[in-house]
Structure 1
Amino acid sequence: MQKIILSYCRVSTSEQSTDGAGLENQKHVNNQAIERFQKSDNFRRLDDIVEVGSAYKGNNLSTIIENAKAGLYPKGSVIVMFDQTRFSRTDFFGSLSKMKELLDTGVKLHYSSSNETLTSEMLGDFGGFIATAAKAEAANKESKSRSERTLASYANKIAKGEVVAVGALPNWIKKVYDTSGNKPKIVGFEIMPDRKEVIEVIFDKYIQGEGATAITAWLNKNVEPWPEFDHRRKDKTNRVWRESYVTKILVNPAVIGERIFNIGRDNESRRSDYYPPVVSKEKWYLAQEVRKNRPKGTTGGYKHPLNIFSGLCFCGYCGSKCGIQNFNTGRRSAIRCTAYAKNEVSGDICPGGSAPVRFLERVIIEFCKDKINFDAIFKPSVTDMTALNVEVNSLENQVTTLLSKLTKIEDLYLDEEISKGRYIERKNEFENSLAVAKVQLDAVKREIDANTHVQTTDEIEFAKLLKMQKDNSIPDDIRMKLRDLLPRFVERITIYRYGDWLSPAKFNQMKQNLKGDSNAKKIIEHLELRTGKSRAVIIYGLKFKSGYFRAIWFDTKAETWISKSDNEGILHKQMN
């Protein structure tokens, strides 16, 4: 098998390709070294491996090492890189370990800047090992020093509120330049007005109940796709809007002007009002609320009447989820236990059966129109902003303390006061705690922001929809809104298709428990009535997020229902 040779280059940013040991410089020096090797031996050159990314990560050569261990590179093959710092983004012990993994496969490592070639034999020799370890440590310190200098400058600019023009911009934003000097300078950003209009339409349609699929179809019919959408397509004439892009727009905080800077694992930074916003925060947070409550997999396209109960309905007998059954024969949609339909539960536990969706829709609409019930299910919940602010302060202090501990543990390790094993153990412990604290801090800050910019209008919106409902038939545009509203106040709907049905297993168990009871005969006669399937009654258990709960008995023949309407236990009957 012919030996291979390849060039590995890495820089932290694309701008470094023209500065010092940047990408072009590395390529040039590596190519010269490869030419020398090819003159002295028969190598097959593979495509260059080039990485451009954030500094000081530690997984730069994983692919090469795995390929070598898998035998894809024959013994005597050569990996050419500029210098030791390309290999030393982890601590020097880790660097030596990775280096040994590679060299043990019989592959050689060549540094083009110093014309030095490493082999497994060199690490086997004590003197060679010490020399290599010293170089690895020096390279690691140099690499870390470069990284820290870059990150410090980067973080300093962010802290001062300066424009950090690195990374890709949102494609509705363009840079603003100051051209008064010799070299144009980026001084800010501005919105492309036509694209702002499109993004606002996307959010408006989503909030009104449409899904990404429906919005994408509307865009392709009414809006010319943006030119950059064809950059990966072979056929440049066939630009289209894609659902994936619409979905990304809906969750991208850049639309409200926020930018997230990943300036190191322990120093992620969020900047509000960095970009000019294209939608209001009120609209943004409302869309996020809709997204959170909307059933997974909902696309917005539908063949049958839209199911407004996805994820809310459960079988009262076996506890399994209930699905919506649609028919192509003109019959109306029905709710049924999915576990029974798939033969996952026996008839002794669950009787199965399906109930028309319109019955549950009728109950929901009529029940919530009652003033007493309406006030109960929308029991107001006032957010304690003071408590949230206290929590933010506590989490920020926790983050600061953990960062300090990380610095101290690293100093102890570098001063050789603790072992490498202890250092790694404590470092991982602190970093894991730090990651959790940062996630919690971000969540609390967003909750504060959301409560600051969005007023809850669920009650008003729902009341409007109920008022629009007529003749027990809900138009699809209202259905879409109800689909997003229901999960905001309904936690669970439990359905007993055949009323208070008693399974054979439970019936026999209850008979056994009644042995010796003087009233056993009378009780058993009553229980026997419950063993038959009552098609005339469906029981719905409505559990609301406010803590309010009501059981409703629905008469399928008369299409009437009975339930407690308030906490006094008064029965309320809503007639046809």
Structure 2
Amino acid sequence: MNNKKKALAYIRVSRLGREKSKSENARFRDKESPQTQMEHIKRYCEQKGYEIINVFEDLDYSGGTDDRPDFQKMFHEIRTNKDVDAVIVYSLSRFARDVLDLNKYLVVLEEHKVDFVSCTEEFLRTDTMYGKFLINIIGAVAQLQREQIAENVRDNMRNKALRGQFLGGIPPFGYVLNEDNQKFVIKEEEAEVVKLIFDRYINGDGIIKIRNYLNKNAFLGRDDYSVGTLQSILKNVHYTGDYVYSKRKNISRTKKKKTDEEEWIIVENNHPPIISKQQYLSVQKLMKKRNRSNPENLDKRVSGNQFLSGILQCSSCGHKYYHGPKRNGSGNKFDYYVCGGYKTKGKPYCTNKRGLRIDWVDQLIHDSITEVLNKDTFLNMYKQTFSDMIKEIEAGLSESAEITKEIDRLKDEQSRYLKLIVRTDNDQLINQYEGEIQFRNEEIENLEGKLKDNSKNEKTKEMLIELKKLIEEMFFEGENFKEFVVLGINQVGPITRNFVRVVEIQDEEEFNRTKLDITFAFRKEELKLLLNIKSAFKLYNRMKANKNELTENEAKGIQEIIDKALNEYNNCVYNVEFGPPVSYKL
């Protein structure tokens, strides 16, 4: 009988832990690398009798915020899995550096009777009175250190900005960076394109016309100049030779906010100009004037929450479709989905120039979902998917046996080289043998990764069996989801749209038509989503049987059930590992 406590391991590494390297595979410092943290956690668990049931990793995330994907997934598991006994980390700083976050999540752990343990700081654990006290003290010290470091970084960056030195990122198009003084140097061929863009805009060409001209003539071998690129060039004050810093500040990991002009750092005549200050000011005045003169531009800034937002995808360039209002010859405005690639970059980058009327295509997709929400369709999809997956599982098991043999062979070779190292004093031979061992070690790691992927096959098979049970449970006697979804997009659209994985759009201009290829997603989470709205369905059926309109309270009740089901769905959907797809062409 297994009496070990169940533990979740959590690993975090911040950007500050990386060595200076331009490589995407830059390694973290040994003392805080993911591998080092995991080794300490495993060793601790073996000594103290814990069983690790799941590992969560946030690589390149700061401990100063709780906005970390795996950190949030871990706490979702803590809230839903009653078997979890402890969260084990390498050190307290890996868990949180902000005192408020630390206390907030320690309260959650306490509510669910889950211990917090730092494996390199044995005294920092929540199952003792002194441990709880010390965690808060050390957490406060860690936060102070973080704030001091952040203040030093800000001061250093401000001092560099005052000297006109570029503070990172990609230099503006038309410049390269002088590595010695960290200032911009003109890149002639790109600078000529910048001058052309400013000249044509001042002489009356619009941004789209300039974009089409650049792409058609493939300036610098490119045909993907976009509206956004040209706008950023036309608004960039650095082309005048002035350096401006602190126009925006970070308010979160992904969001920035404009700062007041008095907060900007401006260093005039800092680097060689590409255009004159007069040209720049003329362009800013023209952009403001042209923006005001076109009221339709205001509509384009309002994207709304369309039924198929983020689902429609262009078959030509791979971009998503988004909301783009248009007016017909009579001046009537219609809401369209338009390809983001064509809208920003035009031809030849993308050939799908036709927009899709939102009111038409939303209803079309909604109706297609209604058509497949029946037991026969679901079961046919299941049988097809089950057959395909069984073949993959068998192939994976066969491959796993071969991989295991190969791993054993490589380990035997490593052992032989180790023996050769012991027997020789020749440094050159020792280096050669160590290289051979390292090479085989990398091969073993790659093969073990494949082996781990194949080991998921059995879990997938279990999930398929569970899927069949859910399908049979979902279509309970006397209740038909096809009838329920006739409530319409506004009421049940947020539910049904989750059954569409992607809709691929292909503009067949020669036939004056657009082809839609719909791939539906029927995972266990989507099936559970339908099960969770049973009570809403029964409420709807009762209303229909009485031949009455929905009362305000009934409509509100249905909406509350749908909102609650969607909230549960959104919290667990990241755990999805498998979803049988099926495509329909309309």
Shorter-chain TM-score: what band?
A: 0.3 to 0.5
The structure that is helix-richer by fraction is 2
Greater Cα radius of gyration, structure 1 or 2: 1
Q: TM-score normalized by structure 1?
A: 0.40
Q: TM-score normalized by structure 2?
A: 0.39
